[in-house]
């Protein structure tokens, strides 16, 4: 007996302080069938001790340099918590040495800005294919 129940759409949290980039990311991902939640990086986009794991995203797209916050610190904090460490984090930045910094912060992947739509979707699919 196989389980043919439809899978619920996967949820992606975008933490990006540039509204234009956030809108572009949201549009690309929603068109690809994902549920998207966006935050600008003010405040904590994910509570550190999350009890309701059903509200957690399946993947986080995180800008490295947010207004008022450091995406690297957010990544370190989330990867240090049992409730969120399993969530893949793909860090975004235009900074030249950002790939190494993203890896040092615990990010699972890195995408340089500006990015190609197909490249972004390939990275997302890679991390969401369980």
What pLDDT score was predicted for residue 19? Answer: 94
Instruction: Look at strands 69-70 and 65-66 and give their pairing.
Output: antiparallel
Averaged pLDDT for residues 79-93? 93
Banded model confidence at residue 72, pLDDT cuts 50, 70, 90: very high
Percent of the chain with pLDDT over 70: 85
Q: Is 31 within the bounds of a domain? A: yes
What pLDDT score was predicted for residue 1? Answer: 47
Average pLDDT over the chain reads 88
Q: Is 124 within the bounds of a domain? A: yes
The predicted-structure confidence for 16-29, as pLDDT tens digits, reads as follows: 999 999 999 999 99
Q: Is 49 within the bounds of a domain? A: no
Q: Is 90 within the bounds of a domain? A: yes
Split into its structural domains, the chain has a count of: 1
What pLDDT score was predicted for residue 8? Answer: 84
Q: Is 86 within the bounds of a domain? A: yes
- pTM passes above 0.85: yes
Q: Is 51 within the bounds of a domain? A: no
Banded model confidence at residue 130, pLDDT cuts 50, 70, 90: low
Tokens encoding 35:
């549920």
Identify the domain containing residue 26 by its residue range: 11-44+56-128
CB 88 within 8 A of CB 110: no
Cis preceding linkage at 114, omega within 30: yes
Q: What distance in Å separates the CA atoms of residue 14 and residue 61, rounded to the nearest whole number?
A: 5
Averaged pLDDT for residues 89-106? 92
The predicted-structure confidence for 37-62, as pLDDT tens digits, reads as follows: 999 877 766 654 455 667 899 999 99
Q: Is 120 within the bounds of a domain? A: yes
Q: Is 6 within the bounds of a domain? A: no
State the CATH number of the domain containing residue 99: 3.40.50.2300
Does residue 123 carry a pLDDT above 70? yes
Tokens encoding 105:
């912060």
Does residue 6 carry a pLDDT above 70? no
Q: What distance in Å separates the CA atoms of residue 24 and residue 86, rounded to the nearest whole number?
A: 26
């Amino acid at each position: 007996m196989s389980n043919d129940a439809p899978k619920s759409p996967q949820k992606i949290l975008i933490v990006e302080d540039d509204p234009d980039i956030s809108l572009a990311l949201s549009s690309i991902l929603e068109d690809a069938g994902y549920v998207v939640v966006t935050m600008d990086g003010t405040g904590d986009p994910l509570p550190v001790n999350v009890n309701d794991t059903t509200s957690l995203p399946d993947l986080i797209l995180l800008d490295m340099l947010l207004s008022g916050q450091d995406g690297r610190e957010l990544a370190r904090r989330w990867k240090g918590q049992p409730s969120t460490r399993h969530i893949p984090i793909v860090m975004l930045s235009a900074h030249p040495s950002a790939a190494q910094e993203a890896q040092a912060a615990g990010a699972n992947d890195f995408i340089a800005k500006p990015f190609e739509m197909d490249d972004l979707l390939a990275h997302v699919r890679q991390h969401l294919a369980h």
